[in-house]
A and B are shown apart, each in its own frame.
Chain A
Amino acid sequence: MPGSPQTSVGVAAIEYVLGREIVTVDELESRGLLDTPAVRMREFGFQCIRVSRQSQHELALEAARQLIENSHTDPRTIDAIYYVGATPDSHAVMNGDPRSAFHYPAAQLQYELEMARAIALGVSQVGCAGMMAAVSLARNFLLSNQSAERVLCVSSDVLPAGSRREMIYNVVSDGACALLVEKGSSTNQIMGHRQITKGYYWDFLYKKNEIAAAYFPTARTIIRDSLQSCGLEWPALARIVPHNVSLRSWEILLRLLGVSGEKLFADNIAKFGHVIAADNWMNLRDVSNDGGLASGDKVLLFTFGFGANWSCMILEH
Chain B
Amino acid sequence: MGDIVLLTGASGTVGRGLVRALAKRSNVNVIYALSHQVDVEANPSVVPLRGDVRSATLGLSAQEYGEVRQRATLVIHAAADTRFSASLYELQAINVEGTKNVLAFAADCGQLRGLTALSTVHVAGKRTGTILESSLPHDAGFVNNYEQSKYEAEIILREAMKDLPITVIRLSTVLSDSKTGEVSKLAAIHQGLRLYYHSLAPMIPGTPDCLVDLIASDYAVSAIADLACDGFHAGQTFHLCAGKDAFTLEQLLAQTHDAFMTYRPSWRKRSIAMPAIVDLPTFELFAQSVDEVGDNLLRHSVRVIQHFAPQLAYPKVFDDTGCTEALAKFDIEKPRVADFYPKAIRWLVESGWTDRAIVPEAVAS
Contacts and interface: CB of A to CB of B under 8 A. Distances in A.
Contacts, number: 70
Nearest to A209: B298
A4 to B, nearest CB: 36
A216 B203 contact: yes
Interface in B234-282: 269-276, 278-279, 281-282
A209 B273 contact: no
> What band does the interface of chain B fall in when counting residues whose beta carbon is under 8 Å from A?
20 to 34
Nearest to A246: B289
B273 A218 contact: yes
B276 to A, nearest CB: 4
Interface string B92-109: 000000000000000000
A271 B261 CA distance: 45
Interface string B186-204: 0000000000001111110
A213 interface: yes
B272 A256 contact: no
B198 A256 contact: no
Given A209-B294, A209-B295, A215-B202, A252 B281 contact: no
A308 to B, nearest CB: 10
B295 A217 contact: no
A252 B198 CA distance: 22
A214 B273 contact: yes
A117 interface: no
B286 A209 contact: no
B111 to A, nearest CB: 56
B202 A198 contact: no
Contact of A252 (B282, B294, B297, B301): B282
A214 to B, nearest CB: 5
Contact of B276 (A36, A40, A207, A220): A220
Interface string B71-109: 000000000000000000000000000000000000000
A212 interface: yes
Nearest to A254: B282
B278 A256 contact: yes
Given A255-B278, A255-B281, A255-B285, A212 B294 contact: yes
Given A213-B200, A213-B201, A216-B202, A252 B273 contact: no
B330 to A, nearest CB: 44
11 contacts: A40-B293, A198-B271, A200-B199, A200-B272, A217-B202, A217-B275, A217-B276, A221-B273, A252-B285, A255-B278, A256-B203
Interface of A: 36, 40, 43-44, 169, 198, 200-201, 207-210, 212-218, 220-221, 248-249, 251-252, 255-256
